Structures are given as structure tokens and as C-alpha cells.
Amino acid sequence: MNKYILALDQGTTSSRAILFGHDGRVRAIAQQEFPQIFPQPGWVEHDAGDIWRSQLAVAQEVLRESGADAADIAAIGIANQRETTLLWDRSTGKPVANAIVWQDRRTAGICDALREAGHAERIRQKTGLVIDAYFSGTKLKWLLDNVPGVRARAERGELAFGTVDAWLVWKLCGRHVTDVSNASRTMLFDIHALAWDEELLQCLDIPPSVLPAVVPSSGEVGRSDPQWFGASIPIAGIAGDQQAATFGQACHQPGMAKNTYGTGCFMLMHTGDRAKASHNNLLTTVGWNRSGVPGAEYMLEGSVFMAGAAVQWLRDGLGIIRSAEEVEELAASVPDTGGVVMVPAFAGLGAPYWDAYARGTIVGLTRGSTKAHIARATLAAIAYQTADVLEAMQKDAEIGLTELRVDGGAARNNLLMQFQADVLGVPVVRPKVTETTALGAAYLAGLAVGFWSSREEIAAQWQVDRRFEPAMAAAEARQRLATWRRAVDRSREWAVPE
């Protein structure tokens, strides 16, 4: 009998692999960071080879360290950083350029042109997305238009486009596929028809021949090449990291919501089996679907570009902490921010502002301001951005949130979680298993191969680690949010081209 599911959690700054047992608990984990590439301001790239090598290395490491072999693994599930865009040669597997990362803003001008040409409402209706450099479609167009010879090769059918999930599946088993959750983040996919859209492809001048086949999030899509793990293993689960985390948090019913505190901050609310349009600058996105089950389940999403990445900037940019874990102690050394407000718009602002030209801003500095105040203001900014998203989400969904389930690295920060509950005015609930992104990928894969029998079995495994109750007066929370929004206004449209 198979003992484990192997989850590959390919993130923006590191690749991880986790073995999960039948009880949904972690049996082994390995992680490896890989380099970030910043060719010029606003550009962010990855070497696709670094992504693959680091992901394969940690997958092999967890098997080695746990003493497991391929026969012990029921299936592989993949969760991935979304929107990051790759283009590679079908015959050699060699990428034509570095991957363009989801944070990259180089295509802001392309997005401006699409809006000016009147495409915004049509794109929103079909894809559920706003026009923004965040999504994969304009990144792919940029590669086709700017890498010499690439467009002609693509039109001859020689090249393959994919987000990171497609790249990993290609390397593992040679198939060119993506799942519906990742496809829904490209600005090329009709989320109602669950298919690539010819009109959108023409709008962005994308040849259909580069596109992967779209497969269910839960269902076997291939088997890994025996060279990687000693024998082949079914690949049976694929989901973008935020959809995977939502599934891992057992948010399986309409109205349930989770927030992931990673490099960015991503809140998703389950809205049922029909796409719900946003009127408050949120995204409508596909959550997941399952092989043999018609249709899909949908989410409203608010995407914050800089959350944990702002803490990394305190470490790497300012040098005021040696590790991300130190930020809580430093921030707790002062009772408040001393009037300092930080807007971490290093890569523009996401929901609900969608301002590609906003830039990072710190206001309220005085001679009494210290690195501790800046650290506390950085944590507060993460909570404020989440509050902005939740306010918009509750208006769209017309559902009052009763609790927010949380995960991701910064969810371990008790100071941040308590402040989050204070400014939201609802309890914040952290589960015992916080590796929910990987867990969601594992659950999707495990359901496909019968490792778990049902979603009810999965939901029963979800357990609370700690519940943070709001302790701040509602009037004070409103005042703090008003001050935050004044600071946001000062960050807006800073880098508009002259």
C-alpha cells in the first residue's frame, strides 16, 4: 500500500518538496532557495534551469531522507508560483530566455495600450481578470516580440509556452499541459467555457500552437520518467499555489476564505460553481476542477504583490534584520509604529488599486523614528493591504466573513496575526498544518488516485493551532485604515512615464 503523496511546492524564492501521510501530516520536507534576477528596475526574472534543478533536488532529498522509494508514493501533486512565464524549444527543452516572474512590470505599457484600445471590459468578462502586467499573456507577448527570431519559431510550432506547472510537468514526463487554475491566470483563457479563447489570442497576437493542453486540477496527467525517482510515479494534481492553499485549507464551500502570507499576500473566497463578477477591482478566477466532474469551482481573489517580500527587503535591502524571523521581535520592541506608515509598492499595487506605477513609500518619519518603527510599519502594511482586499471581497460576494483561515510563512508571526484580526474585526484562524499550499496539491493528487476517498475525509483532517480574536476598538481600526489609505494615495502613479 502506498504510504505517501509527494507534493512539489515551487515558489517564487525557493522550491520545496513535502511528503504527506494519510493523516495529512508532514512526514518529510526539504527546501532550496534559488537566485532572483533583476536586470533593471521593475524587471524580475528566473533561470528556468534553476527552477527545475532546485525542485528535482528537494524531491529526491525528501525521498532519500525519509527512506522512501517510488513504490511508496501514490502520486505527485504540483503547486506553483502563478503567472511566471516560460517559453522553450519543444525539441531541445531549452528555454529561449529567462522566465519572466509574476512580479515583473515590464509589460505595463502593453497593458496601457490594451486599455486604450477598449479591450478592458471584454477581457474582464471572459477571463475574470483586470488588464495588468501581473498576468502571463502580456509577458508571453513580450517574449515573442522582443527575443530575436522567437515569433517566427513559435508560428512554426517549434516553441512551447507554459507557467511553472507546465514546465515542471514537461521536465518530469514530457507532456505539455497546464491545469484550469493556472490557465485562468494567463488573460488568454475563457473561464466560463474553460478553454483558450481565439479572440483573446488575436488581441495579444499569440499563436495557438504555443499553448499547452488544459487538464483537470485533480486527475492523472502522466507518469514521471523513471530516471528521476527510480521508477515512474503518477502526476495527478496541479494547481496554482493560491488555489492549492485554498483547497488545503478545506475552503470547499461558498463563503469560506483563506489568506496566504507568502512573497505576496493572496486572499481567496470560494463562491461556488459559477463565476461571480467583481465590481470592486478583485479577480474572478477558477479554483479547481476534478477529472470526471463537469465544470469547475470558482473564487474571488485579491492579490497583494508585496507581503513577505517587504520583510525580505528589510533584511536584504536595509539590513536591519539578519533573518525574516527576527522581524517580530524587532517590531514588538516598540508599542506602535510611532506614526510611520510604509506602503510596500515595490512592484506597483495589486488589488483593489491595480496601479502598476505606484512605488514603495515610507511616510511619517521623524527624528524619533527607528528601525523598530519601520519593522512594525512593514508588518502593519501587510495587514492593511489584506483589510483593503477583504472590504472589496465582502461587497462583491455579499457574504459577511465569519473567520479568516491563514497560512504561509508570515502566518507564524503572532504579532502580525493579532494585528490582522484587530484591523479586520473578525477572528484569524491558523491551522496546525500551515504547509497548506503543498497540502492542497497533495490532496488534489491523492483524491485522483484514491489515496483519500472524499473531500469530507480531507476536511475532517483540518485542525486549529491558534485563533486570534479581535481586541482593537472598531473606531480605532477605522482610523488606522484611513491613515493607511492616505499613505497609499501618496504612493500612487509615482513612476508614470513622462
Which residues make up each annotated binding site for ATP?
Answer: 12-14, 263, 308, 312, 409
Q: What are phi and psi of 21, to 5 degrees?
A: -90, 180
Q: How far apart are alpha carbons 428 and 271 in whole angstroms?
A: 20
Angle, helices 371-397/474-491, rounded to nearest 10 degrees: 100
How far is Cα 492 from Cα 365, in angstroms, rounded to an integer? 19
Q: Which residues are annotated as a binding site for ADP?
A: 12, 16, 263, 308, 409, 413
Sign of the torsion angle spanned by Cα atoms 377, 435, 432, 315: negative
159: which strand partners? 89
| The three three-digit cell numbers of residue 371, written as one number | 528601525
Which of 255, 495, 264 has its CA nearest to residue 398? 255
The strands making up 4-10's β-sheet, listed across from edge to edge, are 26-33, 14-20, 4-10, 73-80, 234-240, 218-223
- Rounded distance between C-alpha atoms, residue 4 and residue 41, angstroms: 43
Angle at the Cα of 105 from the Cα atoms of 103 and 109, rounded to 5 degrees? 155
Where does residue 185 rank: exposed (0-12), middle (13-18), buried (19+ CB within 10 A)? Answer: buried
Residue ranges at the known binding site for sn-glycerol 3-phosphate: 12, 82-83, 134, 241
What is the residue whose three cell numbers read 531549452? Answer: 94
In the DSSP assignment, the letter for residue 342 is E
DSSP string, 2-51: --EEEEEEE-SSEEEEEEE-TTS-EEEEEEEE---B-SSTT--EE-HHHH
Q: Which residues participate in the annotated binding site for glycerol?
A: 82-83, 134, 241-242
| Packing angle, helices 108-116 and 120-127, rounded to 10 | 110
What are the two backbone dihedrals, phi and then psi, of residue 213, each rounded to the nearest 5 degrees? -70, 145
Which regions of 42-190 does DSSP assign to beta strands (E)?
A: 45-46, 73-80, 86-89, 99-100, 159-162, 177-179, 189-190
CA-closest candidate to residue 393, choices 497, 259, 489, 293: 259
Binding region: 12-14, 16, 82-83, 134, 241-242, 263, 308, 312, 409, 413
**Residue that the C-alpha cell 482593537 belongs to:** 472
